[in-house]
Amino acid sequence: MKERLVVIGNGMAGVRTVEEIIARDPDRYQVTIIGKEEYPNYNRIMLSNVLQKQVTVAEIITNPLDWYAENQIELINHDPAQALDTTTKTVTTLSGKTISYDKLILAMGSNPFMLPIPGGDLPGVVAFRTIDDTTAMLEAAEKFTKAVVIGGGLLGLEAAKGLQEQGMEVTVVHLAEWLMETQLDETAGKLLQAELEEQGLHFLMAHGTTEILGEDRVTGLKFQDGSTLDTDLVVMSIGIRPAVALVRDTGIAINRGILVNDYLETNVPDVYGVGECVEHRGTCYGLVAPLFEQGKVLADRLTHQADIKPYQGSTTFTSLKVSGADLYSAGNVTNTEGLDTIEAFDSANRKYKKIFLEEDKIVGIVLYGDTDEGSRYYNMMKKGTPIDDLQAISVLTAPGCDGAAGGDVLEWEDDEIVCGCNGVSKGEILRAIREKGLSSVAEVGKVTKAGTSCGKCKGEIQTLLEAELGDAVTAATGICGCTDLNRDQVMTQIYAKHLTSTKAVFEALDWRNPEGCPKCRPAVNFYLNVAWPAEHEDERTARVVNERMHANIQKDGKFSVIPRMRGGQTTPQQLMQIAKVAEKYHVPLLKVTGSQRIGLYGVNKEDLPAIWEELDMLAAQAYGKVFRSVKTCVGKTFCRFGTQDTMGLGVKIEEAFEYIDTPHKFKVGVSGCPRSCVESAVKDFGIIGVDNGYQIYIGGNGGTELVEAQLLTTVATEEEVIDYCGAYLQYYRETGIYGERTAPWANRMGFDNVKTVLLDENKRKDLWEALRFAMAAKGRRDPWGEIVNSPDLREKMYTLDNREKVMTGGSH
């Protein structure tokens, strides 16, 4: 007979604990969950996204009704627990149902604190805590124009921004002198206020509310100084209180919250507590990460795991889900008297970092404007990593060969936390990827919960996926779930609205995730590089990890270094240099690649900068979505069947187009005769030498889906080959979906259409002008040594009318 486990509370803490129990011992308990709201379990953190209409209510449901049925869980919904008797071990609900238990988990969460002032019960006064609250706010935004949010904390600001985005004029009233005073110092708080004021929010700081005005509905507020403010809606967001009313007079010990020990046990046998309703070592937590940490310990306790690690409290962090206001706070940032600090402030760009130290260890973190290092500092703080051997500047600078954000996660220890909200470590994510065969961020989230709350860690999860699986992760045919727009719609808006940064795109086009995701950030960055080569500064942090690291990540976390050997040719000097480097750095494998280069495999990350410097060779970019390589045979110079100088032509093509960004990797093959020893017929751009010149083939792809290239035309000279290659390359750049190889691209565009465009001399000329302009904007010369960057050409190339014609293959 199974023991009966009753959970009072259908929120994030209680249900997560049940999930953990099921994962450990699915057959141990007969589970009943009693919930106050009418909905199944949902992600409360995402309510601000619902308010901002970035996601729907359905999208934040984490455990649909089917989940309860599949796990044989009885859900008593929309019928809160009304009475608890620990003597008879029964719970009675509001409707009169009585449920007996063997084990009881108290997970009632918390209640929003509402100011006990006159008018507080008027219609139009709401909290921001539930789906129903959020629905009421959205309904008010459709009928009324003015809103006030009382409370300038995290949730209050997210509520204010959400209401503003629904068209309301919003004022935030805050009692303190700066925003989020418990998470930010004065400098960061005032930077945040300035940013939000520029976005259109209004603020009344150091204002205490004494009365809510109105008769049938709220009409305004009155403050301590006697002033008033008109409003149609009041949202109170001034804190929460543990929900403990149910357990009063039951013998269960309470203070601010229900008192629990390190195993989440109350003072009453068989009664446990988890989440916002409990108090542990004098602390009540209001953030989700500690709740999930508690849930894991309690699940261990209730399933009698052999090695239970007691819960010893949590180190919390905070981040804000408001576009354009990037902040991160963790640890002690308020009681800082006597603490040392390391601080960096770029006032021009509103970037601020402040690290609080005690005995050379990080105890507090405040970041504004640039939060990429938040995870690194947080893990240093949690592990108590001393910084006595580090200079201040090195603490504030990201490690790595190029300082690129996001690459750090590959160097973290397996026990370091990647998803702070859900307490998921790097090691747990990697094990899930390997053992469950996961290949996307969404799949990782489904199995581990990582990335399913605030979503800030999705970049790190993507990096780990790429490290394990390489190109299998990054292949894509569209944008992503952050937007309903397709590639062409995004490009049209980029031109029409003159958007020149990923941030501008995400804001102007109402991206659901205001920071984008690992799938759309590199795609939009590429589209901007194509659209505005002279204005858009390539965003390194938006690129996939291999491009950021200038090397391919291998399955063991090490790297492969591939120097460029144009046309497959090398010299004795290059070979000796490669040998010296390989010997010096103990490179375990040297291999001739399929693209006729020599690769160094098994390189340590920290050795990458020195290796590239000592090789003194260009990177072949064997890892990027770029013009990759030109594979050649020896041609007529050495082969008795050769008809053309294939090596010479291959070198010219590679020199002309190397490092040009493309939607996916772009490979070229140059064969000296129809025997095609370099497999020109399965290249993106294939060339076969014949007696009277060169046959040009396009749209061939090797790999898992072999596609044979199709004959485009036959030309007589090398110059014509380069002419067609450049036009083809640019047409692919301008019309390809990021992550789309040339074979599916040509199929989507229609081979006959592609052929018509490329065989038209005027269209080739226009495409070449666009390519030359893009090359010049990045400091590149075209194959004939010319740099074109005149205002007249720029005006010609980047009018919407002309660009749309190029994109669709229309006439000019």
Between 674 and 321, the higher pLDDT residue: 674
Q: What is the pLDDT of residue 180?
A: 93
pLDDT tens digit string along 495-505? 888 999 998 99
* Beta-bridge partners for 589: 601
- In sequence order, what are the residues at sequence separation of 6 or more whose Cβ sits closer than 8 angstroms to the Cβ of residue 465? 433, 438, 439, 440, 441, 444, 473
State the pLDDT at residue 812. 27
Q: Give strand ranges (E) for 700-798.
A: 710-715
Predicted pLDDT at 806: 35
Asked if residues 734 and 487 have their Cβ atoms less than 8 Å apart, the reply is no
CATH class name, domain 3-111+242-302:
alpha beta
Using alpha carbons, list the distances in angstroms from residue 7 to 108, 167, 750. 9, 40, 59
Give the C-alpha separation, 199 to 458, whole Å.
26
Enclosing H/E stretch for 69: helix 65-70
Do the Cβ atoms of 148 and 171 come closer than 8 Å?
yes
Instruction: Report pLDDT digits (tens) over 760-784.
Output: 999 999 999 889 888 887 665 444 4
Residue 799 has pLDDT above 60, yes or no: no
CA–CA separation, 337 and 65 (whole Å): 50
Rounded CA-CA distance 401/717 in Å is 43
Tens of pLDDT, residue by residue over 596-606, are 888 888 888 78
Q: 189-229 pLDDT, tens per residue?
A: 999 999 999 989 999 999 999 999 999 999 999 999 999 99
Which residues contact residue 574 at a Cβ distance below 8 angstroms, ignoring those fewer than 6 apart?
563, 565, 617
What amino acid is encoded at 296 in this protein?
Answer: K
Least confident of 171-180, 292-301, 317-326, 788-797: 788-797
**Which H or E run includes 759?**
helix 751-759
* Three-state secondary-structure class, residue 119: coil
For 566, residues 6+ apart whose C-beta sits below 8 A from its C-beta are 630, 650, 651, 654, 655, 658
Q: Which of 54, 36, 164 is nearest to 513 (CA)?
A: 54
Q: What is the pLDDT of residues 420-479, one digit of tens each?
A: 777 788 999 999 988 888 877 878 888 888 887 766 777 788 778 877 776 555 443 447
- The pLDDT score that the predictor gives to residue 701 is 86
Tokens at 763, concatenated: 């269209």
Output the CATH code of domain 125-238: 3.50.50.60
Please work out, in degrees rounded to the nearest 5, the angle formed at the alpha carbon of residue 422 by the alpha carbons of 12 and 112: 40
Name the DSSP class of 626. B
Element (H, E) at 139: helix 131-143
What is residue 248's predicted lDDT score, i.e. its pLDDT? 95
For the cut 80, the answer to whether the pLDDT of residue 531 exceeds it is yes
Measure CA of the first residue to CA of the last residue in the chain; give whole Å. 80
d(CA 548, CA 543): 6
- Which pLDDT belongs to residue 778? 61
Q: Take residue 417 and report the two structure tokens written for it.
A: 């936390």
Res. 693: pLDDT tops 60: yes
Question: What is the share, in percent, of the chain residues with pLDDT greater than 90?
Answer: 49
| Chain-centre distance for alpha carbon 17 | 26
Q: From the CA atom positions of the chain, what is the Rg in Å?
A: 31
Residue with tokens 């998470």: 183
Question: 600 is written with which tokens?
Answer: 């160094």
Give residue limits of the domains in the chain: 3-111+242-302, 125-238, 326-397, 406-469, 474-544, 548-615, 627-808
Q: Output the six-digit token pair for 483.
A: 């937007």
For residue 560, list its beta bridge partners. 552, 601
**8 A C-beta contact, residue 131 and residue 42:** yes
Structure tokens at 183: 């998470």
| pLDDT value at 796 more than 70 | no
What is the model's pLDDT at position 798? 34
Residue 557 has a pLDDT of 64
In terms of CATH, what superfamily is 326-397? FAD/NAD-linked reductase, C-terminal dimerisation domain (3.30.390.30)
**What beta strand segments (E) does 71-140 contain?**
74-76, 81-85, 90-93, 98-100, 103-106, 110-112, 125-127
Q: Is the pLDDT of residue 133 over 60?
A: yes
pLDDT at position 312 is 94
CATH number of 406-469: 1.10.10.1100
CATH topology of domain 548-615: Sulfite Reductase Hemoprotein; domain 2 (3.90.480)
Tokens of 716: 């007589």
Q: Are 672 and 640 in contact (CB under 8 A)?
A: no
- Cα separation, 212 vs 121, in Å, equals 9
**Residues present in the chain in total:** 812
pLDDT of residue 477: 40
**Alpha helices per DSSP H over 325-470:** 374-383, 392-395, 426-436, 441-448, 458-469
**What's the whole-number mean pLDDT along residues 696-703?**
87
Question: Which residues, in sequence order, are bridge partners of residue 669?
Answer: 631, 686
Query: The tokens of 59 are what?
Result: 């999208």
Per residue, what are the HEC states of 300-328?
HHHCCCCCCCCCCCCCCEEECCCCCCCEE
Alpha carbon separation from 524 to 369, 516, 685, 731 (Å, rounded): 21, 9, 25, 18
CA distances from 98 to 30, 60, 591 (A): 16, 31, 72
pLDDT in tens, 384-417: 888 865 555 555 554 443 333 334 677 777 888 8
Sign (positive/negative) of CA torsion 780, 781, 782, 786? positive
**Right CATH number for 627-808 from 3.90.950.20, 3.40.50.1860, 2.40.30.10, 3.30.413.10?**
3.30.413.10
C-alpha to C-alpha distance for 312 and 305, rounded to whole angstroms: 18
pLDDT-wise least confident of 65-74, 109-118, 170-179, 482-491: 482-491
Asked if residues 647 and 637 have their Cβ atoms less than 8 Å apart, the reply is yes
DSSP 521-573: HHHHHHHHHHH-TTTPPP-GGGS-HHHHHTSEE-TTS-EEE-B--GGG---HH
**Is the pTM value of this prediction over 0.85?**
no
Domains 326-397 and 548-615 belong to one CATH topology: no
Query: What dihedral do alpha carbons 251, 256, 258, 263 form, nearest 10°?
Result: -130
For residue 806, give the 3-state DSSP assignment: helix
Rounded Cα distance, 788 and 775, in Å: 9
What is the predicted pLDDT for the residue at 703? 67
* Mean of all residue pLDDT scores within the chain: 86
582: closest CA among 553, 607, 565? 607
The residue to which tokens 């990582």 are assigned: 450
Place of tokens 């804001």: 507
Q: With cut-offs at 50, 70 and 90, classify the pLDDT of residue 77.
A: very high
